[in-house]
Structure 1
Amino acid sequence: MPGPGRPDPRGIRLLALLGVVAAMAALPLTVASAGPVGEADRGAFRPPAHDDAKRPVSGRSPLLSGPAAATAVRCGPQLSSGEGIEAQTCVLTRGPDIWARTYYRNAGGEELSSVLNLMAPDGRTVEMRCAVVAADDPETCETPRQHVSGDPGAYAAIAEFARRDGGGPLLLRSGSERPQSNER
Protein backbone atom coordinates (compact mmCIF):
# COMPACT_ATOMS: atom_id res chain seq x y z
CA MET A 1 0.00 0.00 0.00
CA PRO A 2 1.50 3.38 -0.91
CA GLY A 3 2.11 5.87 1.83
CA PRO A 4 0.48 9.31 2.07
CA GLY A 5 1.34 11.50 -0.92
CA ARG A 6 2.85 8.58 -2.88
CA PRO A 7 1.19 7.34 -6.08
CA ASP A 8 0.02 3.75 -6.32
CA PRO A 9 2.60 1.83 -8.49
CA ARG A 10 -0.22 -0.29 -9.97
CA GLY A 11 -1.86 2.88 -11.28
CA ILE A 12 1.38 4.06 -12.84
CA ARG A 13 1.87 0.68 -14.56
CA LEU A 14 -1.73 0.77 -15.82
CA LEU A 15 -1.25 4.25 -17.28
CA ALA A 16 2.02 3.19 -18.93
CA LEU A 17 0.30 0.14 -20.44
CA LEU A 18 -2.59 2.27 -21.72
CA GLY A 19 -0.06 4.66 -23.29
CA VAL A 20 1.64 1.80 -25.14
CA VAL A 21 -1.73 0.43 -26.35
CA ALA A 22 -2.78 3.90 -27.56
CA ALA A 23 0.53 4.35 -29.42
CA MET A 24 0.17 0.93 -31.10
CA ALA A 25 -3.41 1.75 -32.14
CA ALA A 26 -2.37 5.13 -33.57
CA LEU A 27 0.58 3.78 -35.60
CA PRO A 28 -1.49 2.36 -38.52
CA LEU A 29 -3.43 5.62 -38.73
CA THR A 30 -0.20 7.61 -38.81
CA VAL A 31 1.22 5.42 -41.58
CA ALA A 32 -2.03 5.59 -43.57
CA SER A 33 -2.21 9.38 -43.36
CA ALA A 34 1.39 9.76 -44.57
CA GLY A 35 0.32 9.17 -48.18
CA PRO A 36 1.86 6.95 -50.82
CA VAL A 37 5.51 6.00 -50.60
CA GLY A 38 7.68 8.43 -52.53
CA GLU A 39 5.22 11.33 -52.54
CA ALA A 40 7.53 14.19 -51.57
CA ASP A 41 4.86 16.86 -51.56
CA ARG A 42 1.24 17.35 -52.59
CA GLY A 43 2.21 19.76 -55.37
CA ALA A 44 4.03 17.20 -57.50
CA PHE A 45 2.59 14.16 -59.27
CA ARG A 46 4.98 11.49 -58.06
CA PRO A 47 3.56 8.01 -57.89
CA PRO A 48 6.15 5.31 -57.13
CA ALA A 49 8.80 5.12 -59.82
CA HIS A 50 8.09 2.18 -62.11
CA ASP A 51 11.41 0.41 -61.46
CA ASP A 52 11.13 0.91 -57.67
CA ALA A 53 7.55 -0.34 -57.72
CA LYS A 54 8.68 -3.70 -59.15
CA ARG A 55 11.11 -4.33 -56.32
CA PRO A 56 9.65 -7.28 -54.36
CA VAL A 57 9.56 -7.45 -50.61
CA SER A 58 12.33 -9.80 -49.56
CA GLY A 59 11.45 -12.46 -47.05
CA ARG A 60 8.27 -13.05 -45.07
CA SER A 61 9.41 -12.65 -41.47
CA PRO A 62 6.67 -13.34 -38.94
CA LEU A 63 7.91 -10.23 -37.17
CA LEU A 64 6.80 -8.14 -40.15
CA SER A 65 3.17 -9.20 -40.23
CA GLY A 66 1.86 -6.22 -38.26
CA PRO A 67 1.59 -2.51 -39.07
CA ALA A 68 5.34 -2.25 -39.76
CA ALA A 69 5.24 -4.90 -42.52
CA ALA A 70 6.61 -3.76 -45.88
CA THR A 71 4.23 -3.28 -48.78
CA ALA A 72 5.06 -4.87 -52.14
CA VAL A 73 4.02 -2.62 -55.02
CA ARG A 74 3.66 -3.57 -58.71
CA CYS A 75 2.80 -0.62 -60.96
CA GLY A 76 2.19 -0.12 -64.62
CA PRO A 77 3.59 2.85 -66.53
CA GLN A 78 2.60 6.43 -65.80
CA LEU A 79 0.22 7.48 -68.58
CA SER A 80 -1.35 10.76 -69.65
CA SER A 81 -4.14 11.79 -71.99
CA GLY A 82 -4.71 14.85 -74.14
CA GLU A 83 -7.53 15.82 -71.78
CA GLY A 84 -5.12 16.58 -68.91
CA ILE A 85 -5.37 13.32 -66.97
CA GLU A 86 -2.27 11.53 -65.68
CA ALA A 87 -2.48 8.17 -63.93
CA GLN A 88 -0.49 5.19 -62.73
CA THR A 89 -2.18 2.05 -61.39
CA CYS A 90 -0.68 -0.44 -58.95
CA VAL A 91 -1.38 -3.69 -57.11
CA LEU A 92 -0.24 -3.54 -53.47
CA THR A 93 0.35 -6.49 -51.14
CA ARG A 94 1.04 -6.38 -47.42
CA GLY A 95 1.02 -9.60 -45.44
CA PRO A 96 -2.20 -11.47 -46.27
CA ASP A 97 -3.87 -8.39 -47.85
CA ILE A 98 -3.98 -7.22 -51.45
CA TRP A 99 -5.60 -4.16 -53.02
CA ALA A 100 -5.41 -1.85 -56.03
CA ARG A 101 -4.57 1.85 -56.06
CA THR A 102 -4.43 4.39 -58.84
CA TYR A 103 -2.51 7.64 -58.48
CA TYR A 104 -3.93 10.36 -60.70
CA ARG A 105 -4.03 14.06 -61.46
CA ASN A 106 -6.91 15.71 -63.32
CA ALA A 107 -5.72 19.05 -64.69
CA GLY A 108 -8.36 19.02 -67.44
CA GLY A 109 -10.78 21.35 -65.64
CA GLU A 110 -13.73 18.94 -65.73
CA GLU A 111 -14.93 16.60 -62.97
CA LEU A 112 -14.68 12.99 -64.10
CA SER A 113 -15.48 9.53 -62.81
CA SER A 114 -13.15 6.59 -62.43
CA VAL A 115 -13.65 2.86 -62.04
CA LEU A 116 -10.81 0.89 -60.47
CA ASN A 117 -10.84 -2.91 -60.71
CA LEU A 118 -8.69 -5.43 -58.84
CA MET A 119 -8.77 -8.75 -60.72
CA ALA A 120 -7.90 -11.99 -58.96
CA PRO A 121 -6.47 -14.98 -60.84
CA ASP A 122 -9.62 -17.02 -60.13
CA GLY A 123 -11.83 -14.51 -61.98
CA ARG A 124 -13.10 -12.58 -58.96
CA THR A 125 -13.10 -8.78 -59.34
CA VAL A 126 -13.35 -5.99 -56.79
CA GLU A 127 -14.58 -2.69 -58.22
CA MET A 128 -14.34 0.80 -56.75
CA ARG A 129 -15.94 3.92 -58.25
CA CYS A 130 -14.31 7.26 -57.46
CA ALA A 131 -15.24 10.85 -58.21
CA VAL A 132 -12.30 12.63 -59.84
CA VAL A 133 -12.30 16.33 -58.97
CA ALA A 134 -10.92 18.89 -61.38
CA ALA A 135 -7.69 19.92 -59.66
CA ASP A 136 -4.00 19.95 -60.41
CA ASP A 137 -3.23 18.19 -57.11
CA PRO A 138 -2.39 14.47 -57.21
CA GLU A 139 -5.02 12.16 -55.69
CA THR A 140 -5.57 8.43 -55.18
CA CYS A 141 -8.40 5.95 -55.47
CA GLU A 142 -8.11 2.45 -54.02
CA THR A 143 -10.15 -0.69 -53.64
CA PRO A 144 -10.93 -2.24 -50.27
CA ARG A 145 -8.29 -4.71 -49.10
CA GLN A 146 -8.91 -8.38 -49.80
CA HIS A 147 -7.20 -11.51 -48.54
CA VAL A 148 -4.76 -12.90 -51.08
CA SER A 149 -6.02 -16.06 -52.72
CA GLY A 150 -3.23 -17.87 -54.53
CA ASP A 151 -0.24 -16.12 -56.09
CA PRO A 152 -0.22 -12.35 -55.42
CA GLY A 153 1.78 -11.87 -58.64
CA ALA A 154 -1.20 -13.12 -60.65
CA TYR A 155 -3.43 -10.18 -59.62
CA ALA A 156 -3.93 -7.18 -61.91
CA ALA A 157 -5.57 -3.76 -61.65
CA ILE A 158 -7.13 -1.43 -64.23
CA ALA A 159 -8.42 2.12 -63.76
CA GLU A 160 -10.63 3.79 -66.37
CA PHE A 161 -11.39 7.52 -66.47
CA ALA A 162 -14.46 8.96 -68.23
CA ARG A 163 -16.78 11.97 -68.15
CA ARG A 164 -19.18 11.94 -65.21
CA ASP A 165 -22.25 12.04 -67.44
CA GLY A 166 -21.05 8.91 -69.25
CA GLY A 167 -21.06 10.69 -72.60
CA GLY A 168 -18.16 10.48 -74.96
CA PRO A 169 -15.27 8.07 -75.26
CA LEU A 170 -13.11 6.64 -72.50
CA LEU A 171 -10.52 9.30 -71.63
CA LEU A 172 -7.77 7.13 -70.13
CA ARG A 173 -7.17 3.50 -69.17
CA SER A 174 -4.27 2.78 -66.79
CA GLY A 175 -3.20 -0.72 -65.78
CA SER A 176 -0.83 -2.34 -63.34
CA GLU A 177 2.13 -4.39 -64.46
CA ARG A 178 0.97 -7.51 -66.25
CA PRO A 179 0.44 -10.48 -63.92
CA GLN A 180 3.29 -12.94 -63.63
CA SER A 181 2.71 -16.16 -65.49
CA ASN A 182 3.98 -19.60 -64.48
CA GLU A 183 3.83 -20.76 -68.11
CA ARG A 184 7.02 -20.73 -70.18
Structure 2
Amino acid sequence: MNLRLIGIGTGVLIILSLPLAGAIARPDFAGQDDGKGSGLFSALGLSDSSRTSPTAPARPAAPEGPAAGPEQPGPVEQPRTDSRCGPELSSPHGVEAQTCILVGEGRTWGRSYYRNTSGRALDAVLTVMGPAGRTVQIRCAVGEGDEPGLCETPKEDSAGEPDSYSAVAEFAVPDDEGQLLLRSGSNAPAPGGG
Protein backbone atom coordinates (compact mmCIF):
# COMPACT_ATOMS: atom_id res chain seq x y z
CA MET A 1 0.00 0.00 0.00
CA ASN A 2 0.99 3.47 -0.53
CA LEU A 3 2.33 5.16 2.58
CA ARG A 4 1.05 8.48 1.40
CA LEU A 5 -2.54 7.21 1.20
CA ILE A 6 -2.34 5.75 4.71
CA GLY A 7 -1.09 9.07 6.09
CA ILE A 8 -3.93 11.05 4.50
CA GLY A 9 -6.53 8.52 5.76
CA THR A 10 -5.10 8.71 9.29
CA GLY A 11 -5.15 12.48 9.23
CA VAL A 12 -8.77 12.54 8.10
CA LEU A 13 -9.76 10.12 10.89
CA ILE A 14 -7.99 12.24 13.51
CA ILE A 15 -9.70 15.43 12.29
CA LEU A 16 -13.12 13.79 12.29
CA SER A 17 -12.64 12.27 15.74
CA LEU A 18 -11.64 15.53 17.49
CA PRO A 19 -15.22 16.94 17.80
CA LEU A 20 -16.42 13.56 19.02
CA ALA A 21 -13.64 13.33 21.61
CA GLY A 22 -14.36 16.90 22.75
CA ALA A 23 -18.07 16.20 23.10
CA ILE A 24 -17.46 13.11 25.17
CA ALA A 25 -14.81 14.70 27.40
CA ARG A 26 -16.69 17.98 28.01
CA PRO A 27 -18.66 17.97 31.28
CA ASP A 28 -22.28 19.17 31.27
CA PHE A 29 -21.95 22.26 33.51
CA ALA A 30 -25.47 23.50 32.83
CA GLY A 31 -27.03 20.28 34.12
CA GLN A 32 -29.06 20.02 30.95
CA ASP A 33 -28.20 16.47 30.01
CA ASP A 34 -31.57 15.18 28.87
CA GLY A 35 -30.31 11.80 27.69
CA LYS A 36 -30.57 12.75 24.00
CA GLY A 37 -26.85 13.11 23.39
CA SER A 38 -26.88 16.90 23.50
CA GLY A 39 -23.12 17.10 23.79
CA LEU A 40 -22.54 15.30 20.50
CA PHE A 41 -25.20 17.26 18.64
CA SER A 42 -23.90 20.61 19.79
CA ALA A 43 -20.23 19.70 19.21
CA LEU A 44 -20.94 18.78 15.61
CA GLY A 45 -23.13 21.85 15.08
CA LEU A 46 -26.19 19.69 14.52
CA SER A 47 -29.59 20.00 16.12
CA ASP A 48 -32.72 17.96 16.31
CA SER A 49 -36.24 19.41 16.07
CA SER A 50 -36.54 20.00 19.81
CA ARG A 51 -33.44 22.22 20.02
CA THR A 52 -32.64 25.74 18.94
CA SER A 53 -31.20 25.94 15.44
CA PRO A 54 -27.57 27.15 15.33
CA THR A 55 -28.70 30.01 13.08
CA ALA A 56 -31.61 31.04 15.33
CA PRO A 57 -30.90 33.36 18.25
CA ALA A 58 -30.88 31.57 21.57
CA ARG A 59 -33.81 32.29 23.87
CA PRO A 60 -32.84 33.52 27.33
CA ALA A 61 -33.57 31.06 30.08
CA ALA A 62 -36.41 31.99 32.41
CA PRO A 63 -35.25 32.59 35.97
CA GLU A 64 -36.27 29.95 38.45
CA GLY A 65 -36.87 29.86 42.18
CA PRO A 66 -36.19 32.50 44.81
CA ALA A 67 -32.99 33.71 43.12
CA ALA A 68 -35.13 35.14 40.30
CA GLY A 69 -35.52 38.48 42.08
CA PRO A 70 -38.70 40.44 42.73
CA GLU A 71 -41.78 39.43 40.75
CA GLN A 72 -42.64 41.64 37.83
CA PRO A 73 -46.11 43.13 38.13
CA GLY A 74 -48.72 41.88 35.65
CA PRO A 75 -50.95 44.12 33.59
CA VAL A 76 -52.77 46.77 35.54
CA GLU A 77 -56.32 45.68 36.21
CA GLN A 78 -58.76 48.13 34.69
CA PRO A 79 -61.51 49.38 36.97
CA ARG A 80 -64.97 48.06 36.23
CA THR A 81 -67.28 50.31 34.25
CA ASP A 82 -70.99 49.61 34.08
CA SER A 83 -73.09 50.99 31.26
CA ARG A 84 -76.75 51.42 30.45
CA CYS A 85 -77.38 52.10 26.78
CA GLY A 86 -80.37 52.96 24.74
CA PRO A 87 -81.13 51.40 21.37
CA GLU A 88 -79.01 51.88 18.27
CA LEU A 89 -80.89 54.40 16.12
CA SER A 90 -80.47 55.64 12.58
CA SER A 91 -82.07 58.46 10.64
CA PRO A 92 -82.93 58.61 6.94
CA HIS A 93 -80.41 61.49 6.76
CA GLY A 94 -77.44 59.13 7.27
CA VAL A 95 -76.76 59.46 11.00
CA GLU A 96 -76.51 56.46 13.35
CA ALA A 97 -76.07 56.73 17.11
CA GLN A 98 -76.31 54.94 20.44
CA THR A 99 -76.17 56.83 23.73
CA CYS A 100 -75.12 55.42 27.11
CA ILE A 101 -74.71 56.29 30.78
CA LEU A 102 -71.46 54.93 32.21
CA VAL A 103 -70.62 54.45 35.89
CA GLY A 104 -67.24 53.55 37.34
CA GLU A 105 -65.09 54.34 40.39
CA GLY A 106 -67.82 56.49 41.92
CA ARG A 107 -68.17 58.66 38.82
CA THR A 108 -70.89 58.98 36.18
CA TRP A 109 -70.69 60.27 32.60
CA GLY A 110 -72.44 60.08 29.25
CA ARG A 111 -71.18 58.78 25.92
CA SER A 112 -72.70 58.67 22.45
CA TYR A 113 -71.30 56.43 19.73
CA TYR A 114 -72.07 57.70 16.24
CA ARG A 115 -71.47 57.34 12.51
CA ASN A 116 -72.18 60.23 10.12
CA THR A 117 -72.74 59.32 6.47
CA SER A 118 -74.93 62.37 5.80
CA GLY A 119 -72.29 63.96 3.58
CA ARG A 120 -71.83 67.04 5.78
CA ALA A 121 -70.31 67.96 9.13
CA LEU A 122 -72.76 68.07 12.03
CA ASP A 123 -72.93 69.28 15.62
CA ALA A 124 -73.81 66.95 18.47
CA VAL A 125 -74.98 68.09 21.88
CA LEU A 126 -74.74 65.42 24.60
CA THR A 127 -76.62 66.14 27.83
CA VAL A 128 -76.47 64.06 31.02
CA MET A 129 -79.29 64.65 33.52
CA GLY A 130 -78.86 63.46 37.09
CA PRO A 131 -80.66 63.63 40.41
CA ALA A 132 -81.52 66.98 42.03
CA GLY A 133 -81.52 68.79 38.68
CA ARG A 134 -77.84 68.18 37.99
CA THR A 135 -77.00 68.58 34.30
CA VAL A 136 -73.77 68.27 32.32
CA GLN A 137 -73.68 69.20 28.66
CA ILE A 138 -71.01 69.07 25.96
CA ARG A 139 -70.95 70.01 22.27
CA CYS A 140 -69.01 67.81 19.84
CA ALA A 141 -68.08 68.44 16.22
CA VAL A 142 -69.10 65.43 14.14
CA GLY A 143 -67.08 65.08 10.95
CA GLU A 144 -68.54 63.48 7.86
CA GLY A 145 -67.51 59.99 6.88
CA ASP A 146 -68.13 56.34 7.54
CA GLU A 147 -65.69 56.09 10.47
CA PRO A 148 -67.34 55.65 13.89
CA GLY A 149 -66.75 58.28 16.53
CA LEU A 150 -67.83 59.19 20.03
CA CYS A 151 -68.88 62.18 22.04
CA GLU A 152 -68.36 62.00 25.81
CA THR A 153 -69.10 64.27 28.75
CA PRO A 154 -66.58 64.80 31.54
CA LYS A 155 -66.73 62.29 34.42
CA GLU A 156 -68.53 63.72 37.44
CA ASP A 157 -68.79 62.34 40.98
CA SER A 158 -71.92 60.21 41.25
CA ALA A 159 -74.71 61.76 43.29
CA GLY A 160 -77.21 58.93 43.33
CA GLU A 161 -78.09 55.56 41.90
CA PRO A 162 -77.10 54.87 38.29
CA ASP A 163 -80.78 54.53 37.36
CA SER A 164 -81.34 58.17 38.36
CA TYR A 165 -79.17 59.34 35.42
CA SER A 166 -80.09 59.63 31.76
CA ALA A 167 -78.38 60.99 28.66
CA VAL A 168 -79.60 62.42 25.36
CA ALA A 169 -77.55 63.17 22.24
CA GLU A 170 -78.93 65.42 19.51
CA PHE A 171 -77.32 65.56 16.06
CA ALA A 172 -78.10 68.67 14.00
CA VAL A 173 -76.94 70.70 11.01
CA PRO A 174 -74.65 73.50 12.26
CA ASP A 175 -76.40 76.52 10.80
CA ASP A 176 -78.91 79.14 11.92
CA GLU A 177 -81.85 76.76 11.66
CA GLY A 178 -80.07 73.83 13.34
CA GLN A 179 -82.17 71.14 11.66
CA LEU A 180 -82.34 68.15 14.03
CA LEU A 181 -81.39 64.92 12.24
CA LEU A 182 -81.37 62.43 15.13
CA ARG A 183 -82.06 62.29 18.87
CA SER A 184 -80.63 59.30 20.75
CA GLY A 185 -81.24 58.51 24.44
CA SER A 186 -79.73 56.21 27.05
CA ASN A 187 -83.07 54.78 28.17
CA ALA A 188 -84.12 51.44 26.76
CA PRO A 189 -87.42 51.51 24.89
CA ALA A 190 -90.49 50.48 26.83
CA PRO A 191 -91.37 46.82 26.26
CA GLY A 192 -93.93 46.52 23.48
CA GLY A 193 -97.17 44.77 23.86
CA GLY A 194 -100.17 46.86 23.93
Asked if Structure 1 and Structure 2 have the same fold, meaning a TM-score greater than 0.5 normalized by the shorter chain, the answer is: yes
What does 1:115-126 correspond to in 2, within 5 Å? 115-126=125-136
The one-letter code sitting in structure 2 at the alignment partner of 1:138 is P
Shift of 1:122: 1.1
Deviation sequence 1:77-130 (CA, Å, 0-9, x none):
111111100000000001201100000000011000000001112111100100
Please give the root-mean-square deviation of Cα atoms over the aligned residues, in Å: 2.0
Deviation sequence 1:9-46 (CA, Å, 0-9, x none):
xxxx9xx89x96xx98xx5xxxxxxxxxxxxxxxxxxx
Residue 153 of structure 1 aligns to a residue whose secondary structure is helix
Structure 1, unaligned runs of 5 or more: 1-12, 28-66, 179-184
The one-letter code sitting in structure 2 at the alignment partner of 1:128 is I
Cα separation, 2, equivalents of 1:167 and 1:177: 28
What does 1:105-124 correspond to in 2, within 5 Å? 105-124=115-134
Deviation sequence 1:120-172 (CA, Å, 0-9, x none):
12111100100000010110000000000011211000000100114253111
Runs of 4+ in 1 over 4 A off after TM superposition: none
TM-score computed with the length of structure 1 as normaliser:
0.60
Larger radius of gyration: 2
Cα separation, 2, equivalents of 1:116 and 1:101: 8
Q: Residues 100 and 166 from structure 1, CA distance in 2 versus in 1: closer, same or farther, beyond 3 angstroms?
A: farther
Q: Residues 169 and 137 from structure 1, CA distance in 2 versus in 1: closer, same or farther, beyond 3 angstroms?
A: same
Cα separation, 2, equivalents of 1:161 and 1:92: 20
Shift of 1:176: 0.2
Structure 2, unaligned runs of 5 or more: 1-68, 189-194
The residue that corresponds to 2:109 in the other structure is: 99
